[in-house]
Structure 1
């Protein structure tokens, strides 16, 4: 049985258009509720600790805790996203991860290695840009090792879940919600890329365009590889290395995002993103060589992918319909190849019996015609 493509995994027997709308509202409301809860708890802790107020008049715990809180507020979207898939759409939450119903960790780590090199090239190129054109120049001097190690340790714990949450909501939930109604993946990929860029705010036209390219590459790799692993790896590497670089210069309070990227950096980033996609495709093909797998199958670790029961019902019904159509066509074709009865020649009793034995599904027994002759 063929494996359903990733963007079609929400097309289950329980599919209803209003469930996708309700699920989206549930994710937004649930994520906001959890994020507000985190912010309130942090504010209470800051007040009890006697911390000063920030520029907006709110209690602050300092640059590093505030940055961690920002990442965790985004990560708060992850639980309601899984809950929406399971409770509202009535499908396994694992189908948000990949066609295998789980996150393929060995494959994701392989992609992460490639992503680290790609992001490293981008950050290295930014060092050669003029100071006013670089968004990663940070402070003028490096901080001490103790401060840096603490910041890096916090980043390692909060950045991956923040980046994964964005991927599960945009490349997972949103693309599958749209893809359930479109066989081809290009419209879902385009829509999620535009939404992804818009959610990062408007900085420069070049920054917005770069985010769209990031979304297209990540979305296409998600569909092509059958899971979020390549997109998560790229997103985590990008955010984690960028945060660690800022921590090295003690510039964690910066409010710049990828939307503020200058054109000089975009000119480097776009080829790097495309190269990352090409290398991931190359690795996937090499690892699948000789296995006879569908490209959406399990790549590394575990048995070959099998369609989830919640999704299989739709494709099984389609397969049965197609097979029935083929059988009917073959039967009609075989009967059509039988020698025609010559006109003006009386049928013998044996000939009538022979005709009676041939029945085409959906057509009356032609032997009845012989009874009227």
Structure 2
């Protein structure tokens, strides 16, 4: 099992505390180049600015690169922690399979990419008054290169941290699956509370962020690996950055379209959680033959040493 693999390596609680501390410290260090660049460009005027205004201090492509650099530094630190604090191969915090299944990654990526492009195209042609065409070749293609390289690093950091490292660490500590699923999903969603989208649309959008955490966590546990979640998260964020931006979003990019509508979040925010996300899971379940949902999502995580002891006792 995906979580159970951590028992085979150094999984003491203090190692996870140390590991998380190192990762947090690395993320803070990764923010320094962005902070310096903003201060050099905006001076003391950036103090007290709202987040959406701070995002406009720098050129959008430079801002995007430096923002994503933070997550790249965090990913490097996470891999360092896994390898040198837990002495665990990166593969085993990625998947329970003998090797990483890139076919699963690209299936998850393609599924959300097709959905995002279809929904954006439908809304654009249904409500053209809500959009401005923003295609400018040079800044767009610079942004595209940055996004293709850096966004997968950002999303991989979040997936390896929440659905990989912490899912395994909490799982071997509490010896079940439901608690790490709930905790990592709520914390993942909760960290989005400071996004400008929440300020603009209200706290109700937190249902979407936490629900997305549950979607990615369920993918990981049912499929016994991160591949689908890695691809899905990368596809979602990459297409979001490339297709549409707005002056109230965390990603300020040279996208193809600018959304100029006044966003609201109400009951419609529940549609992705209770309609679209179950559909994604249904498609994946059919393709990969997922079974025994209750056991995979809520079952126990037994120490293999205990299993071997019981087996040897039974045999004797």
TM-score normalised according to structure 2 size: 0.77
1:115 and 2:92 aligned: no
Structure 1 261/190 Cα, relative in aligned 2: closer, same or farther at 3 Å? farther
1:105 and 2:131 aligned: no
Greater helix percent: which structure? 2
CA distance in 1, matches of 2:26, 2:20: 10
| 1:189–1:216 CA contact under 8 A, matched in 2 | yes
Alignment equivalent of 2:12, drawn from 6, 16, 30: 16
2:6 is paired with a residue whose SS is coil
Q: C-alpha displacement at 1:95, in angstroms?
A: 1.7
Q: Which runs of 4+ in 1 moved over 6 A?
A: 128-132
| 2:61–2:139 CA contact under 8 A, matched in 1 | no
Q: Which runs of 5+ in 1 are unaligned?
A: 289-294, 296-313, 329-373
- Corresponding residue of 1:184: 176
| 1:54–1:60 CA contact under 8 A, matched in 2 | no
- Corresponding residue of 2:34: 39
- Corresponding residue of 2:279: 275
| 1:171–1:222 CA contact under 8 A, matched in 2 | yes
Q: Which runs of 5+ in 2 are unaligned?
A: 48-53, 252-262, 297-302
| 2:147–2:238 CA contact under 8 A, matched in 1 | yes
Provide Cα deviations, 1:50-101, integer angstroms capped at 9, x if missing partner. x565951689541121022112212221011111122222322322211136
1:39 is paired with a residue whose SS is helix
| 1:39–1:69 CA contact under 8 A, matched in 2 | yes
Provide Cα deviations, 1:90-127, integer angstroms capped at 9, x if missing partner. 32232221113653212211221112123334435655
Alignment equivalent of 2:210, drawn from 198, 202, 212: 212
- Corresponding residue of 1:68: 65
1:140 is paired with a residue whose SS is strand
1:11 is paired with a residue whose SS is helix
| 2:19–2:81 CA contact under 8 A, matched in 1 | yes
1:229 and 2:221 aligned: no
TM-score normalised according to structure 1 size: 0.66
Give the greater-gyration-radius structure (CA): 1
Instruction: State how 1:24-35 maps to structure 2 within 5 Å.
Output: 24-35=20-31
